[in-house]
Structure 1
Amino acid sequence: MEGMTKAQVDKAESRDFALGGKPMRPRDAATLILLDRQAGDFQVLMGRRHARHAFMPGKFVFPGGRTDPADSRIPVVENLHPAEEAKLVGSGARASRTRARAIALSAIRETYEEAGLLIGHKGSFSTGRTDWQGFVEHGVHPSLEALRFIARAITPPGRVRRFDTRFLAAWRSDVAVSLEGGGPTNELEELVWLPIGEAKQADIPAITRTVLEELERRLERDPQLRPGGEVPFYRMLRNRFVREFL
Structure 2
Amino acid sequence: MAFEINSQAVDTPPLPSATVMVVREGDGAQGLEVLMMRRHANSGVLGGAHVFPGGKVDAADQAVGESTWDRSALVCRQALNEPDLDDGLTLGLYAAAIRETFEECGLVLCAPSGVQADAVGAMRASLEQGAHFVEAMQAVGEPWAASALVPWSRWVTPRVPSMMSKRFDTRFFVAVAPAGQLTQHCEREATEAVWLTPQAALERSWNGEINLAPPQIMSLSHLSFLGSVPAVLAWAGNNVPALIEPRPFDVDGERVICYPGDPEHLLPQIAWPGATTRLTYREGRFVAEGGLSALLGV
TM-score calculated relative to the size of structure 2: 0.64
Query: How far did 1:199 drift?
Result: 1.8
Q: Which residue of 1 aligns with 2:174?
A: 169
Q: Which residue of 1 aligns with 2:131?
A: 130
User: Aligned to 2:239, which of 229, 233, 240?
Assistant: 229
User: Aligned to 1:144, which of 131, 143, 146?
Assistant: 146
Instruction: Flag the structure with more relative contact order, 1 or 2, with Cα contacts below 8 A and sequence separation at least 6.
Output: 1
Query: How far did 1:230 drift?
Result: 3.4
Higher strand fraction: Structure 1 or Structure 2? 1
Say whether 1:189 aligns with 2:212. Answer: no
Say whether 1:34 aligns with 2:25. Answer: no
Which has the larger displacement, 108-117 or 228-237?
A: 228-237
Query: How far did 1:224 drift?
Result: 5.7
Query: How far did 1:27 drift?
Result: 0.6
Name the SS for the 2:147 alignment partner: coil
Gaps of 5+ in 2: 124-129, 206-210, 250-256, 261-266, 272-298
- The amino acid of 2:243's aligned partner reads F
Say whether 1:53 aligns with 2:54. Answer: no
Please say if residues 21 and 158 of structure 1, whose CA atoms lie closer than 8 Å, have aligned partners that are also in contact.
yes
How far apart in 1 are the matches of 2:106 and 2:217? Answer: 24
Query: How far did 1:45 drift?
Result: 0.4
Query: How far did 1:229 drift?
Result: 2.3
- The amino acid of 2:201's aligned partner reads A
Closer, same or farther in 2 for the Cα pair 1:106/1:217, shift >3 Å? same
Please say if residues 25 and 229 of structure 2, whose CA atoms lie closer than 8 Å, have aligned partners that are also in contact.
no
RMSD after superposition: 3.5
- Give the percent of matched residue pairs that are identical in Structure 1 and Structure 2: 22
TM-score calculated relative to the size of structure 1: 0.76
Say which one has the larger Rg.
2
